[in-house]
Amino acid sequence: MGASLPPKEANLFKLIVKSYETKQYKKGLKAADAILKKFPDHGETLSMKGLTLNCMDRKSEAYELVRQGLKNDLKSHVCWHVYGLLYRSDREYREAIKCYRNALRIDPDNIEILRDLSLLQAQMRDLTGFVETRQQLLTLKPNHRMNWIGFAVSHHLNTNPSKAIDILEAYEGTLEEDYPPENERCEHGEMLLYKVSLMEECGYIDRALEELNKKESKIVDKLAYKEQEVSLLVKLGHLEEGAKLYRALLSMNPDNYGYYEGLQKCAGLYRDSGEYSSDEIDQLSSLYKSLSEQYSWSSAVKRIPLDFLQGDKFREAADNYIRPLLTKGVPSLFSDLSPLYDHPGKADILQQLFLELEHSVRTTGGYPGRGEKEPPSTLMWILFLLAQHYDRRGQHDVALSKIDEAIEHTPTVIDLYSVKSRILKHVGDLAAAAALADEARCMDLADRYINSECVKRMLQADQVTLAEKTAVLFTKDGDQHNNLHDMQCMWYELASGESYFRQGDLGRALKKFLAVEKHYADITEDQFDFHSYCLRKMTLRAYVEMLKFQDRLHAHPYFHKAAAGAIRCYIRLFDSPPKSAAEEDDETSKLLPSQKKKLRQKQRKAEARAKKEAEVKNEDSTASGVSKSGKKNVKPVDPDPHGEKLVQVEDPLSEATKYLKLLQKNSPDSLETHLLAFEVNMRKRKILLAFQAVKQLLRLDAESPDTHRCLIKFFHGVSSMVSPVTDSEKLIWTVLEEERPTISQLHGKSLMEANDSFLEKHKDSLLHRAAAAEMLYVLEPNSKSRAIKIIEDSTNKLSQTNGALGAVMEWKLRDCIAVHKLLESVLVDHDVASRWKVHCAKYFPYSAYFEGSHSSASPSSAYNQIRKNPENGGMDHLAGGASVDFAAPNGKLESFKDLTISQ
C-alpha cells in the first residue's frame, strides 16, 4: 500500500488511510493533494482521494478519480478494494463483490478485503461463497474468536447446522479450562446457548440437554437457560420435570402466557383448536384455580380460563374477571375480551352479563349480590363496554345510544369520544368520525396516540391537508412533512396514499406508496452493519433470527398494502393515461373566452397558493436547519413533491410487474395478489400468466365473487380473440383447451350456464349476485335489464345471531357501496344507481355515502344543525377548507352530545 512512493510520500499515504478511518476527511484530502503534486498519476492516491471525496458527498468526482486511479494501476489491490467500497456505499453490492474478487486475485490473503467480501456475501445471501470466505479467514487467522464463530454461522445459514456444531466444539477445544474471563462471560454464554439451539435444530435433543446441564455454570442468562432446558425436556417427553420447570418460570413471571401454555402441554391439556372435552375442562379449571391461589395478582391466570370454560362456569369466571376492571376503569377491557366473540355462544353470555351489571348499578348503585356501593364512574365504564360490544355485533344504533349516554354521564373522558368516532366510522359517517376524533385530540394536546388516531380518521374522510397539519404537531421543527418520511411513519403514508387514490390524485398516491416500499428497502440495507457487529458481540441467536426475519420481510402486511396500492395506480394509469400538454392546450382552445378566463384565474390562484406554501416551508426549514454552532444543515430538496413525474411513466404495466413479482413471491396465499396478477397480465396479453392467476384464485377460494369474475372474464376474453396463427399462439390455445375440463365450475358447461349455476348456488348473497349480474352483462351486453333485476331482487335478510336485542341485517355497508359503484361505472345506469342509493339509505341511516338521514351528508341531520350553530365552536374545517385552529377550545365537545339516534 503506497509501496511505489518515496518514504516521505509513503508516510503521507498512510496519513490518508488513517484520516479516512478516523473521518478526518479534509486532513486526508490535503495529504492526497500533496502526493499528487509530485506524482499526479499515482493510482492508489487517486483512489484514496476519490474515496475521501465520496464521504464528503462529492460522488461524481469520487467515481472519476477512482476510475482514473484504477486505470493507472490495474494491478493494485488497493484500487480494486477502494472501487468496491465506493460501490458498496451506493448499495451496488454485486458490483462491489466483483471488485473485491479482482482485488483478491492480486492479494489473495488480504484479511481486510476478505472480511469486507464476507459481509457482502452475507448481505446478498451468497451462502456458498460466504462459507468459502469465512473458511479462508479462519485459515489465515485461527487465533481470532470472531473467525471461528463466523465460520460456524456461515455453515448454519448454509443449511448445515451439524457442521456448525463441530466447528464450535473445535473452537472450545482451543480454549483454556478456566475460560472465559469475567469480562467475556456473557459472550461465551451466548455462544454456548447458540450451540445448544443448533443441536436442538439438528434433532440431537439428548445431547443438547446434556451439553446445557454441563455448561450451566458458564451461562450467564439464566432465564434463557431455563427456557431452553424446559423446551428440551418437553421434546424428550420428560413432562413432570418440564411441569416443575414451568412452575418455576411462572414464579418469575406469572403473566407470561407462553409459560401457561407450556404447563398445559406438560399436563396433556393443550389443543391448538381450543376445543376441549368436559373432563379436560374440569382438569384445566382445577389447574388454574390452584394457580390463581398461588398468583392472585396475575391477570393472565384469570383471563386464560375464559378461553376454555363454557356455560355457567364461563359466566361466573367472566363476571369475576370483569367486575374489578370496571370498578378500576380499564379502557382496554373490551380489547381484552374481543377474542371471545369468535367462540360460539360466548358473546350472548357476555351481553347478558353486561346488561345485568348495568341494570344492577343503575337501580342499586352496586353489583348484583353485593351490598357495597360502586363509584359513579362504574356505570360510565359499563356503558362504554356495552357500546363497544354492540358495535362489534353490528347493532350500531344501540352502540351509539350507549356511548351518548356515557358521554352525558361523564363528558370529560377522552376514550368515550375515541370510541364514538370508531362507531361512526363503522356506520359510514367518516366526516363525523373525524370530527369526534378531533374533539378527543383537543382534550389532550400532549397525547401522541390520540393525535395519530385523529389523523387516521381525517385521512379516512379524505381530509388530507388537515390530517397533515395535525400529524406534524408531533414531528420535529423544520421540514415537517419530510420528518414523517424520515421516521418511517408507514401507517400515515399508506392511509394518505389510499386517500389520494380515492380522490384520483395518482401522482401523490404513488409518491406515498413508493415511499413505503423505500422504507422496506432501507430496512433490508440496515441489516448490513449487524453482520460484523453480531459476530463481534456474540448475539448469535438474535442474529440468525434477524436474518430469517429479513428473508420474509416483504411478506409484512404494510409492504403488501403499499405494493398493491402502487399496482392499482399503475393499472389506472394504463387504463386512463394522463393527458399531454399539447392535448390539454387543444382542449383549452375549444373553451369559450369566459371559460378560458375563469380557468386561467383558477390556475394562477393555485400557483400562488403553492408558491406561498413552498415559501413557508423553506422559511421553516431554514430557521430549524441552523445548528447551535451556527452552521446550516441543508436537506436535499424533493424534485417531485407531488409525484407528477411518477405518472408520466412510459410503461405503467412494466412498473406494476416489478411489485407484482414481489407480491407473488412473498404473499402467494393472498387472494388480492392473484387478482392483481390477473388484471395486469390480461392487460399485457400474457394469457398463460393470467390463467395461472385464475388457477391460484380457484385454489385459494373458488367460491369468491372476485374469483368467479376472473374465471368468466378470462375464458370470455380468450374466446373473443382471433384464431391462433403462430406456433406459440397455437401452443397456448392447446394448453387452455386441455386445462378447461379440469376446472369443475366449467366442466361440461358454457360460460352462461356456469354463471347461472354460480347465481343459483349463492342466490342469498348480495356480492355473489352482483358478480353474477356483472358477468351476465359482460357475456351478453343486451341482457343489461336482466342483470340489473338480479341486483335489485336481492333481499336484505335478518341475521339471528345477535342475541336478546334483535337481529341484524346481513348486508354490509362496504358491499352495498361496491354494488352502487358497479351500477354507476360498469352497468352505467344512473337511474338504477340512484334508486339503489335511496334504498340503501334506509338500511344505513348514518352512511354519508348514501346520504342517510342521520349522516353528516344530510342537510337536516343533527350534525349539520350543529355546524350551522357557531355557539359551540363550529366545525367549518370539515367543509373542505384546509385551515384549522389547533389551539381551539373544547367548546365543540358539548355539541356532539346531540348526535343521538331516534329510537
Q: Tell me which amino acid residue 737 is.
A: E
What is the C-alpha R_g of the chain? 34
Q: Which long-range contacts (CB under 8 A, 24 or more apart) does 777-782 make?
A: 777/826, 777/827, 778/712, 778/713, 778/716, 779/712, 779/716, 779/751, 779/752, 779/755, 780/752
What structural domains and CATH numbers belong to the chain?
A: 7-171 (1.25.40.10), 480-576+647-657 (1.25.40.1010), 658-858 (1.25.40)
DSSP characters over 547-570? HHHHHTGGGSHHHHHHHHHHHHHH
Distance CA(770)–CA(766), nearest Å, equals 6
pLDDT on residue 796: 82
pLDDT on residue 481: 59
Place of cell 417427553: 237
Distance CA(622)–CA(600), nearest Å, equals 32
Distance CA(660)–CA(682), nearest Å, equals 14
DSSP E strands: which ranges in 203-296?
none
pLDDT on residue 866: 47
DSSP characters over 504-515? T-HHHHHHHHHH
pLDDT on residue 884: 39
Helices 766-779 and 705-719 meet at what angle, rounded to 10? 10
Distance CA(830)–CA(757), nearest Å, equals 29
Contact 789, 379 (CB under 8 A): no
pLDDT on residue 478: 47
Instruction: At 755, list the grid cell.
Output: 354463471
Counting Cβ atoms within 10 Å, is residue 446 exposed (0-12), middle (13-18) or buried (19+)? exposed
∠ CA 512-514-519, rounded to 5°: 100
Contact 429, 844 (CB under 8 A): no
Distance CA(872)–CA(466), nearest Å, equals 20
DSSP characters over 807-872? -EES--HHHHHHHHHHHHHTS--HHHHHHHHHHHHHH-TT-TTTT-TTSTTSTTSHHHHHHH-GGG
Helices 7-21 and 25-38 meet at what angle, rounded to 10? 160
Place of cell 371559460: 595
Return the H-helix or E-strand segment holding 235.
Answer: helix 222-235
Distance CA(144)–CA(164), nearest Å, equals 17
Q: Tell me which amino acid residue 801 is.
A: T
Place of cell 464476507: 118
The tens digit of pLDDT for each residue in 736-762 reads: 888 888 898 888 889 999 999 999 999
Return the H-helix or E-strand segment holding 798.
Answer: strand 798-799
Distance CA(496)–CA(205), nearest Å, equals 51
Q: Tell me which amino acid residue 397 is.
A: D
DSSP annotation of 797 reads P
pLDDT on residue 545: 96
Look at strands 808-809 and 798-799 and give their pairing. Answer: antiparallel
- CA-based torsion, 619, 625, 629, 631: positive or negative: negative
pLDDT on residue 895: 42
pLDDT on residue 638: 74
Distance CA(280)–CA(269), nearest Å, equals 7
The tens digit of pLDDT for each residue in 311-327 reads: 999 999 999 999 999 99
Neighbours of 280 (CB within 10 A): 17
pLDDT on residue 268: 93
Give the chain's residues under pLDDT 70. 1-3, 477-482, 579-592, 596-597, 599-600, 603, 606-637, 799-808, 859-903
**Where do runs of H (alpha helix) occur along 2-144?**
7-21, 25-38, 43-55, 59-72, 77-89, 93-106, 111-124, 127-140
Tell me the C-alpha to C-alpha distance, in Å, between residue 637 and each of 614, 621, 640, 641, 802: 11, 11, 9, 9, 56
∠ CA 687-690-693, rounded to 5°: 155
The tens digit of pLDDT for each residue in 868-892 reads: 443 333 344 443 333 334 333 333 4
Contact 778, 754 (CB under 8 A): no
Instruction: At 532, list the grid cell.
Output: 460484523
Strand partners, 104: none
Phi/psi zone of residue 640: left (φ > 0), alpha (ψ -120 to 50 degrees), beta?
Answer: beta
Place of cell 363528558: 411
